[in-house]
Amino acid sequence: MKNKNKKKKRGIEEVSRGSSGASGNELSIQSTVLPAQVFADAMSTLNNQTFHANTPFNTSPYGLNPPQFCSTPMNTSAPVSMLPSHTHMLNPPPPPLPNSQQNMTVVEKTLQDICSRMGRIESKLNKLDTIEKSLENLESRVNNIDKEVQEWAKKVETNEATNQTIHEAVEAIRSEVKSMNIESAKTKEDLLDVQARGMRENLMFWSVPENPGENCTEIILNLCQNELKMERVKERVKLIERIDRVKKDNWAESQTMPYSSEVSQLRG
């Protein structure tokens, strides 16, 4: 039994020694293998592109992503001296564009087009300023015309009132003239009646020679007695109111004016 126990103790010591030797060998092997493993882990990390959630992404104007850097923490169990001392780029730099010159030409043409359009817009804006000034002048003229029209409207209203007054006065004058015409017609009729009644007693003597300073009454009485053969004319003809020659207003110069006598009574 004692021998067996001793053998067991020796086996355990050998195993422990073997294990300790093996562990030393494994450490040496691990120390030799560790740099390759770390590099493989780093490359796998770069290939998988495991980034932090808050890492921003920027895009280039040509649609290519800029180089991105790894921010995932490494395995801290490895020695610091075995980690790579520089950061690795996630994407390689973009290759040079073959059509960059053509793109620049397109951009220049676009800029020229934009500049020409801006020039046209500026000219139109200048025209708008001119149009605005013209509209302001037109508005001021329209306001002046409106004021003048209002003044003329007031004058027209005043003239209408004056014309109404004049029309009323003219109507009154017309009525007065109408009444005066009626009265004048009546007066003419009365005058004609008086003239007709007065002419019934008038006698007209024609073709009697005219002498300056003549006595019309003696001439007519002698004419009646001598030419007309009337007897006792001076005794029979009484109340001779007037005997005179007619005026030459309505007679020719060569004509002899007749005598007009008004006899109120002729006795037998």
Q: Is the pTM of this model over 0.75?
A: no
**Per-residue confidence at 106, pLDDT binned at 50, 70, 90?**
confident
- Tell me what pLDDT residue 94 has: 60
Domain locations in the chain as residue ranges: 2-82, 201-266
Rounded Cα gap, residues 252 and 257, in angstroms: 9
Q: Is the pLDDT of residue 35 over 70?
A: no
Residue 224 sits at φ, ψ, to 5 deg, of -70, -40
Among left, alpha and beta (phi > 0; psi -120 to 50; other), residue 75 is beta
**Per-residue confidence at 193, pLDDT binned at 50, 70, 90?**
confident
State the amino acid at position 38 in one-letter form. V
Which whole-number Å values give the CA distances from 267 to 3, 184, 203, 221, 226, in the listed order? 232, 39, 15, 14, 18
State the amino acid at position 8 in one-letter form. K
In the predicted model, what is the mean pLDDT of the chain?
67
* Range 6-20 average pLDDT: 49
- Tell me what pLDDT residue 258 has: 52
- Tell me what pLDDT residue 224 has: 76
Query: Of all residues in the chain, what percent carry a pLDDT higher than 70?
Result: 44
Which whole-number Å values give the CA distances from 154 to 62, 136, 161, 166, in the listed order? 78, 27, 11, 18
- Tell me what pLDDT residue 231 has: 74
**Per-residue confidence at 209, pLDDT binned at 50, 70, 90?**
confident
- Tell me what pLDDT residue 144 has: 94
* Range 244-267 average pLDDT: 51
Q: Is the pLDDT of residue 187 over 90?
A: yes
* Range 172-179 average pLDDT: 94
Q: Is the pLDDT of residue 154 over 90?
A: yes
* Range 145-152 average pLDDT: 94
**Per-residue confidence at 194, pLDDT binned at 50, 70, 90?**
confident
* Range 19-32 average pLDDT: 43
- Tell me what pLDDT residue 184 has: 94
Q: What does the pLDDT look like over 107-120, one tens digit per residue? A: 888 888 899 899 88
The token pair that represents 161 in the structure block: 């009132």
Q: Is the pLDDT of residue 37 over 90?
A: no
Which are the contacts of 251, defined by CB distance < 8 A and separation ≥ 6? 257
